């Protein structure tokens, strides 16, 4: 990964592997693999884009297309917590293992850590995540940990991530302590509901961090860019890892969305 002073711009596309196919108002936007690959190839071709985060099937396609030449490649590791499933919080490691990433010569791995205090599956996920951090550190491979405090809505049973500053602070504190060393751990964190609180939030850990994108709220892409711009000024924030909001922008202009995000760096 880039050294001191450099910034990361990574395009994410690991959502389909856990059945999360929606983008914006389109419930199956990411279900068309040819269309997704076209958008990924376009995004990866733009100046300033460093690489991609995806599951094995997507990365295999991109390798065959020659789209990963000279790019940073981050493999997605746990995809077992299928979107909407009763076992969503038991997020098993069904994707890349540390040994796979090492064998393939990829640059890093990424794992998702959602914690629901009412669901025992979170504890199993935490334990598996800690062992994955250890396995990556043994191989001196960076691992990006994406933590959330989550809870189910009583009315619908749907899982929601809590993006309040207090919740993000707690999730960062938990994620930073996973495993027997933090020497190779990066954080992948959301911009909170209160972007003015991000400075306080990022004081929770000294680990390097990247900002995640997520869906654009209320279709306001410009407001999202401004949130990213402010958070990118913080000392531990090293870049962006963004998926659907750049691959499926509100105005349909993938190249324009990617170029704007690169400009923020």
Closest CA to 44 of 77, 82, 73: 73
The mean pLDDT of 212-240, rounded to a whole number, is 87
Q: In this structure, is residue 249 part of a structural domain?
A: yes
- What is the residue range of 31's domain? 8-264
Query: Which pLDDT does position 218 carry in this prediction?
Result: 63
Q: Which tens digit of pLDDT belongs to each residue from 80-134? A: 999 999 999 999 999 999 999 999 999 999 999 999 999 999 999 999 999 999 9
Residues 6 or more apart whose Cβ sits within 8 Å of residue 234:
198, 199, 202
Closest CA to 97 of 56, 127, 153: 56
Q: In this structure, is residue 112 part of a structural domain?
A: yes
Strand partners, 17: none
Q: In this structure, is residue 1 part of a structural domain?
A: no
Q: In this structure, is residue 3 part of a structural domain?
A: no
Q: Are 50 and 83 in contact (CB under 8 A)?
A: no
pLDDT above 90 as % of the chain: 89
User: How far is Cα 265 from Cα 233, in angstroms, rounded to an integer?
Assistant: 9
Q: Which tens digit of pLDDT belongs to each residue from 44-63? A: 999 999 999 999 999 999 99
- Strand segments (E) across the chain: 8-13, 51-54, 72-76, 108-115, 143-152, 159-162, 185-189, 209-212, 237-242
Q: In this structure, is residue 2 part of a structural domain?
A: no
Task: Label residue 2 by pLDDT band (50, 70, 90).
Answer: confident
pTM of this prediction?
Answer: 0.95
Question: What is the b/e burial string over 146-167, where b = at least 16 CB atoms within 10 angstroms of the residue's CB?
Answer: bbbbbbeeeeeeebeebbebeb
CATH number of the structural domain spanning residue 169: 3.20.20.70
Q: In this structure, is residue 66 part of a structural domain?
A: yes
What SS3 state is found at 11? strand
Query: In the chain, how many domains are there?
Result: 1
- DSSP β-ladder status, 8-13 and 237-242: parallel
Q: In this structure, is residue 219 part of a structural domain?
A: yes
Q: Which tens digit of pLDDT belongs to each residue from 124-180? A: 999 999 999 999 999 999 999 999 999 999 999 899 999 999 999 999 999 999 999
Q: In this structure, is residue 60 part of a structural domain?
A: yes
């Amino acid at each position: 990964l880039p050294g001191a002073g450099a910034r990361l711009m990574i395009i994410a596309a690991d959502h389909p592997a856990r059945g999360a196919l929606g983008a914006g108002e389109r419930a199956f936007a990411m279900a068309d693999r040819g269309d997704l690959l076209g958008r990924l190839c376009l995004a990866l071709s733009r100046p300033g884009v460093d690489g991609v985060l995806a599951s094995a099937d997507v990365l295999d396609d991109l390798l065959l297309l020659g789209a990963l030449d000279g790019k940073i490649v981050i493999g997605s590791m746990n995809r077992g917590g299928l979107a909407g499933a009763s076992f969503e919080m038991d997020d098993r490691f069904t994707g890349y293992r540390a040994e796979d990433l090492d064998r393939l010569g990829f640059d890093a791995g990424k794992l998702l850590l959602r914690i629901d205090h009412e669901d025992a599956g979170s504890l199993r996920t935490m334990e598996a995540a800690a062992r994955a951090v250890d396995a990556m550190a043994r191989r001196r491979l960076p691992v990006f940990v994406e933590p959330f405090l989550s809870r189910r809505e009583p009315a619908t049973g749907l899982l929601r991530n809590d993006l309040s500053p207090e919740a993000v602070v707690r999730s960062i504190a938990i994620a930073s302590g996973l495993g027997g060393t933090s020497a190779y751990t990066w954080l992948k964190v959301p911009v909170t509901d209160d972007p003015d609180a991000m400075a306080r939030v990022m004081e929770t850990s000294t680990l390097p961090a990247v900002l995640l994108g997520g869906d654009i709220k209320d279709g306001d892409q410009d407001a999202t860019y401004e949130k990213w711009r402010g958070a990118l000024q913080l000392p531990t924030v090293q870049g962006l890892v963004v998926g659907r909001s750049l691959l499926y922008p509100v105005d349909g202009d993938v190249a324009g969305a990617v170029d704007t995000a690169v400009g923020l760096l």
